[in-house]
C-alpha cells in the first residue's frame, strides 16, 4: 500500500517556482503547448502535495494501442511510459467532478436571491 504523507501547502511563490521548473523540464522534451505543459506540471504538483507521488512500490501492466500511447505522449509532452501512466492515474485520482456537480445544480438557485443588479 502506498504511503500517504501529510504535507503543508506550498506558499504561492514556491509553488509557482516549482511549477516553472517542471514546465521547463517538460518543454525540453517535446514541442507541446505551454498551457498543456502547465496542466501536466500542475497535476504532478497536486499529486505530490497529496502524497500520491511517493515511493514507487506499486506495479501496473497492460496492453494498450500504440497509437493511443503515441497520441497521449504528444499531447502531454511526456516521453516515459511510466510518467504517462502516473499522469493519467493522478489525473483520475485528483478529479474534482466539477462538470457533474455543475449539471446537478443547474436551476437550483433560489429565484428570490438578490444578485446585486
* pLDDT at residue number 5: 40
Per-residue pLDDT of the chain (117 residues; tens, 9 = 90+): 343 443 444 444 445 566 566 666 665 555 667 788 888 989 999 999 999 988 889 999 999 999 999 999 999 999 999 999 999 999 999 988 888 888 888 888 788 888 887
C-alpha cell belonging to residue 61: 501492466
Helices (H) and strands (E) in the chain, counts: 5, 0
pTM for the model stands at: 0.59
Phi-psi region of 101 (alpha: psi -120 to 50; beta: other; left: phi over 0): alpha
* pLDDT at residue number 92: 93
Amino acid at each position: 500500500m502506498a504511503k500517504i504523507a501529510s504535507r503543508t501547502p506550498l506558499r504561492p511563490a514556491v509553488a509557482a517556482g516549482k511549477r516553472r521548473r517542471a514546465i521547463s523540464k517538460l518543454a525540453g522534451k517535446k514541442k507541446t503547448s505551454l498551457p498543456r505543459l502547465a496542466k501536466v506540471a500542475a497535476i504532478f504538483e497536486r499529486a505530490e502535495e497529496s502524497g500520491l507521488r511517493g515511493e514507487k512500490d506499486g506495479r501496473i501492466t497492460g496492453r494498450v494501442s500504440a497509437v493511443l500511447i503515441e497520441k497521449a505522449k504528444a499531447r502531454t509532452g511526456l516521453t516515459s511510459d511510466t510518467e504517462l501512466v502516473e499522469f493519467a492515474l493522478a489525473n483520475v485520482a485528483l478529479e474534482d467532478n466539477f462538470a457533474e456537480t455543475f449539471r446537478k445544480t443547474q436551476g437550483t438557485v433560489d429565484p428570490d436571491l438578490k444578485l446585486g443588479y
